Structure 1
Amino acid sequence: MDVPQIKKAAKVYDVVIVGSGAGGGMAAYQLSKAGATVCLLEAGGYFDPADPKYINQLKWSYESPRRGAGTTRAFGDFDAAWGGWEIDGEPYSAVKGTEFHWFRSRMLGGRTNHWGRISLRMGPDDFKRRSLTGIGEDWPIGYEDLSPYYDKVDDLIGVFGSKEGLRDAPDGRFLPPPKPRLHELMIKKAGKSIGVPVIPSRLSILTKPIHDRGGCFYCAQCGRACQAYADFSSSSVLCIPAVKTGRVTLINGAMAREVITDPKTGLASGVSYVDVPTMTEQSVMGKVVVLAASTCETARLLLNSKSARFQNGLANSSGVVGKYLNDSTGASRGAFIPALMDRKRYNEDGVGGAHVYSPWWLDNKKLDFPRGYHIEYGGGMGMPMYGFGFGMEGRNSIVPGRDGKPREAGGYGESLKDDFRRFYGANIGMAGRGEPVPLESNYCEIDPNTVDKYGIPTLRFNYKWGEAEIKQAKHMQDTFEEIIHAMGGIALGKKPGPETNYGLEAPGKIIHEIGTARMGNDPKNSVLNKYSQAHDVKNLFVVDAAAFPSQGDKNVTWTILANSWRTSDYIIDQVKQKNI
């Protein structure tokens, strides 16, 4: 029987995890399997793509009140991303003269519900940039440290691809890749003629069923999240199975405010959060705290976690928290391919992404920029839309008429309908995704003048592209032109020039940000050690991309997953040894 005047002690979990994306989902999955009691905090709502009330696959655009327009979500009403670059009541800002766009998903699984599923390993050289080039920073670990975990991630989650023996794009444990479609065969032929490799993509989409998950049925709608669990999302593959162990308490609508620390020991003791439905302050206690809220959100948590012991923010004795922020570079180009006109119609959907891509193929020592990029391709007979095939920036394209003579495409009535039929499937697109040079001058910090609707101080960004990234974008555009020419194509729109930084996307637009709590051997210039453990707080860990000193030209999700698994193993080992 309870004694009324004695307050019951709050439950203390073995581990409290903030964020349910790739890093948080993997940590919850591995730690709960090891027997730990876990509290998983997610700022957004619950989501299961196999639950009928969440399924948006195979719906027509006209089933949306906005006919599929992206007025309420960044990528359309049916897209599996509850959030975007702008969220009502959650502002952020930028220092005058700088720019950064911060994408956030408020849902179980975070941004893994909508992404390209491009699942690339870092190469051996990606971990040793400073040693090899004198620019940037080395990681405190190497490819040999993560390789066994990449293998485990491949086996657990599934990724298709092909063995190519490339140092910059290490091979994995692959499922069979899908066959290239017609436009991809043409891209591959054109690439070979000019020395650009084009190989099967490496996507975490199941081309055959594994682990009670269904195989891809080629609807090409992975961005809506898969009801068959045939693609990787942290919600379906990691979080939901972790909750089913009975050792994970999932709290949705938990907007983390700060990490609580013990004033005597300085150790993390829990997390304070705002309960979104009630807008009340809550806290959850744990013996270990793991941050996986995403690169910038993790930095905000650390910087807002101030105390007498940590006056500049938690784990920030180095002053590095928030610094060395960087996002992938990105530039793109579209083209019209006359050889693909007047095609026979057939089901060409394929997986939700390109069946081929180009890994980096050149030696930067022979170029005027220090880091490489890869190329992602698009095209085929997907869902048509108005304007498809008729140029860019509102201009009509000059195309061959039925008599072979050039004329403007489009128009009205019968001419427009005829052109749509003829040009359907005759467009391609290509996008470069490159590695920037991490700079201390690119950072996020707490805005002293603004709080969000939860009363939590918000972030202010300072980010500018450097000459290295601008020259890289120029090289991308030159390469796109070569590929288009080799295909006998017509580039759409005016070629981007120096006035637009050669079409270089604004920082944050590629949604690959990393680096605000980087790992390193020296506590004076890094936040975490080689196990993603805070130098200043031994029971605090970071398992999202904030830990990464650099990103290579690779999409970082596969490395987040591998590193989180490695860190989880370390936590288990340290607990057994009673070190934490």
Structure 2
Amino acid sequence: MSFQTQSAGEEYDVIIVGSGAGGGMASKILSEAGLTVAVVEAGADFDPAKEEDRTQLRNPWESPRRGGGTQIRPFGDFDAAIGGWDMEGEPYTRGNGTKFDWFRSRMVGGRTNHWGRISLRFGPNDFKRKSIDGLGHDWPIGYDDVKPYYDKVDKLIGVFGSKEGIYNEPDGLFLPPPKPRLHELFMIKGAKGTNLPIIPSRLSILTRPINNDRGVCFFCKQCNRGCQAYADFSAGTCLVHPAMKKGKVDLYTHAMVRKVTTNDAGKATGVSYVNKLDMKEYKLKSRVVVLGASACESARIMMNSKSKSHPNGLGNHSGMLGRYLHDSTGADRMGIIPDLVNRERYNEDGVGGMHVYTPWWLDNKKLDFARGYHIEYWGGMSMPSYGFGFAMDTMRKYVKDEFGNPSPNGGYGAGLKKDIRSFYGTTVGMSGRGESIPQYSNYCEIDPNVVDKFGIPVLRFHYQWTEHEINQAKHMQDTFEEILTNAGAILMGTKPGPETMYGLATPGRIIHEVGTTRMGNDPATSVLNSNCQAWDCDNLFVVDAGPFVSQADKNPTWTILALSWRTSDFIISELKKKNI
């Protein structure tokens, strides 16, 4: 186990760029096969169990902002993810009419330090959507190709859930799920009143021990802060650091990769990176290069890797590099449940996420949009976040006494405190997360006029939602209102209308972007083959969400992990055969 900050002068078997889900899994599988591995990470090391990194169980008054967000921690001062949509010195640009926000997480483990641990398998239909609705393209692989690796990921990392037997929501190898909390019981009532399925969630959080290196969830509901017991999944604690202890893995931190280097034959020879601490450029050499820097960052590296052999960028012989970028759709609604006003106080934190969710339940052939969505439920009595008391005047307007008058408290001091105690734990809400249609016209490219503070050309985004996504968001809002009403909630705010695309989130805001280096069977229409191997550079592989042909109505992380393991096995096999 070693940490490096500049080239050690040796050649590795494999260089892996990025330490998130894809890069982390590759580091473990490849190093345990006996290969020498360099993991190159643009951020610092991170270990939530170390006191200098720990944010779990910190009280609001331990933050100068009382837990409020910052530029590099937009989800709150104690959130684990260090990065954000707007990073100083690391800009990106947008084409005319485009709204796209790109979230980066600069740290070991990447964005797996923050995510909601929603760990859903893609189903058989999700790999063959064109065959179902005629839109986009089918994957060159199917569920049966990935299932053995989903099973391996379940066993290695751990995921709780329940056997439901839903065809396109494949069951996994589950740990016991936690019981629904009070607010979720109201959501169950609302969903059942609307004839929607609502089942235990599937989250990669340990409710039972699986090995001696990780603890079990103690239900503090702060998984987004990074678990000091390692009870939830993040790539740093579950993959990268264990790989460093067990195999020959060198970790290069603060290393901003400029490009993949190639020889005259067009083969990858390593990477060139800028050390963010001394702003000098270094090179590492390897037999194989694996990119797992995130869909957009990996595409950016490949576009910037121009040479005589690859004049349009590495892997871009087809012109498809950067194309078919797409994010999950997202929309939200919330309400107040009067029956929960002045509720009893007790610890109901649970896991750091939902205990129940609704998988997609309808036939799109009968609807005016082509792909579905799932529903995530939230609420409860977790530690109040910064700004909780600011909304009391608004909440008083919704909750009336038996005479139809607002709460008599309000104002400042004692009245405000009474309102906070009364309304604490009364709000519930839901978020829809859906599948969009991949579009050739949604893409990222290199901006010819802008570089970042390291002198590396930046990305320019082009993106528009289609009528399918807008109509899907409208369906979400109609469903949300029905569920909340059946749950006995008072709807808050005005129902989003067409002027806001029914509350449809800006592309990139759901942080599920996929598709820039997509796989396929035809080199003329794809960047990678079905093993995530570049068509025009056979010792270059991509293991993040870039290879996705389409994004399902599920979170992508479990599929990134499974595909990375599958690709790593292929790399090991090809090296043994001396094919690469």
Q: TM-score, normalised by structure 2?
A: 0.96
Q: Tell me how far apart the structure 2 counterparts of residues 64 and 387 of structure 1 sit (CA, whole Å).
A: 14
SS of 1:460's partner is: strand
What is the distance in 2 between the residues matched to 1:385 and 1:226? 18
Q: Does 1:215 align with 2:227?
A: no
The alpha carbon displacement at 1:575 in A equals 0.9
Query: Shift of the alpha carbon at 1:99?
Result: 1.1
Q: Which residue of 2 aligns with 1:65?
A: 64
**1:397 shift after superposition:** 5.1
Alignment of 1:108-507 (within 5 A): 108-212=108-212, 213-263=214-264, 265-385=265-385, 388=388, 395-396=394-395, 398-407=397-406, 411-413=410-412, 414-507=414-507
CA distance in 1, matches of 2:347, 2:255: 43
Following superposition, the deviation at residue 386 of structure 1 comes to 6.7
**Residues 257 and 86 of structure 1: CA distance in aligned 2, closer, same or farther (over 3 Å):** same
Whether the 8 Å CA contact 1:45–1:252 is kept in 2: the answer is yes
- CA–CA distance in structure 2, aligned partners of residues 229 and 410 of structure 1: 43
Q: Do 1:39 and 1:251's aligned partners in 2 also have CA atoms closer than 8 Å? A: yes
- Give the conservation status (yes or no) of the 8 Å contact 1:271–1:283: yes
Taking a change above 3 Å as real, the CA distance of residues 362 and 325 of structure 1, as seen in their structure-2 partners, is: same
With over 3 angstroms needed to count, the CA separation of the structure-2 counterparts of 1:417 and 1:52, relative to structure 1, is closer
Distance change in 2, residues 1:211/1:66 (3 Å): same
Of 230-239 and 73-82, the range deviating more from structure 2: 73-82
Note if contact 1:512-1:556 (Cα within 8 Å) is conserved in structure 2. yes
Q: Which residue of 2 aligns with 1:4?
A: none
Secondary structure of the residue aligned to 1:376 is: strand
TM-aligned CA deviation for residue 186 of structure 1: 1.6
CA–CA distance in structure 1, aligned partners of residues 395 and 68 of structure 2:
22
Does the CA contact (< 8 Å) of 1:399 and 1:406 recur in 2? Answer: no
Residues 527-566 of structure 1 aligned to structure 2 (within 5 Å): 527-566=527-566
Shift of 1:395: 4.6
C-alpha deviations, 1:464-523, integer Å up to 9, x for none?
111110000000000000001101111110110001000001000000000000000000
Aligned counterparts of 2:252 and 2:509: Cα–Cα separation in 1: 29
Structure 1 residue 77 and structure 2 residue 62: aligned? no
In the alignment, the residues of structure 2 paired with residue 43 and residue 325 of structure 1 have an alpha-carbon distance, to the nearest angstrom, of 22
- How far is 1:399 from its partner? 3.4
Aligned partners of 2:434 and 2:552 also within 8 Å: yes
Would you say the 8 A contact 1:304–1:457 is kept in 2?
Answer: yes
Closer/same/farther in 2, CA of residues 211 and 141 from structure 1, 3 Å limit:
same
1:42 corresponds to 2:15: no
> Structure 1 residues 329 and 58 mapped into 2: Cα distance closer, same or farther (>3 Å)?
same
Which runs of 5 or more residues in structure 2 are unaligned? 1-6
Residue 403 of structure 1: CA displacement?
Answer: 3.9
Q: Secondary structure at the match of 1:538?
A: strand
* Shift of residue 415, structure 1, vs aligned partner: 3.5
CA-to-aligned-CA distance 1:342-383 (integer Å, 9 cap, x gap): 211100100000100000000000000000000001011112
Could you tell me which residue of structure 2 aligns to residue 519 of structure 1?
Answer: 519
| Structure 1 CA distance for aligned equivalents of residues 531 and 70 of structure 2 | 42
How far apart, CA to CA, are the structure 2 residues paired with 1:411 and 1:102? 40
Alignment-mate amino acid for residue 130 of structure 1: K
Cα distance in structure 2, aligned partners of 1:488 and 1:370 = 31
TM-superposed deviation, 1:409: 7.8
Which letter maps to 2:502? Y
Q: Where does the alignment leave 5 or more consecutive residues of structure 1 unmatched?
A: 1-7
Cα distance in 2 for residues equivalent to 1:300 and 1:574: 26
Moved more, 445-454 or 70-79: 70-79
Show CA shifts across 1:320-352 (max 9, x none): 000100010000001001122221110010000
Q: What displacement does 1:228 show?
A: 0.4
- Per-residue CA distance 1:135-164 (angstroms, 9 max, x = gap): 011001000000010000000000000000
Distance 2:470 2:100 in 1: 16
Amino acid at match of 1:255: M
Q: Which amino acid aligns with 2:461?
A: F
Q: Shift of residue 401 of structure 1? A: 3.9
Amino acid at match of 2:263: D
Partner amino acid, structure 1, of 2:404: K
| Structure 1: distance between partners of 2:8 and 2:474 | 61
**CA deviation vs aligned residue, 1:229-261 (integer Å, no higher than 9, x gap):** 000000000000111124101100110000001
Task: State the TM-score, normalizing by the size of structure 1.
Answer: 0.96
The 8 Å contact of residues 129 and 135 in structure 1, kept in 2 or not, is answered as: yes
- Identical-residue share of aligned pairs (%): 63
- Displacement of 1:406 in angstroms is 3.7
Partners of 1:279 and 1:50 lie apart in 2 by 30
What value does the CA root-mean-square deviation take over the aligned residues? 1.6
Aligned partners of 1:448 and 1:408: how far apart in 2?
58
- Match of 1:547, SS state, is coil
TM superposition shift of 1:298:
0.4
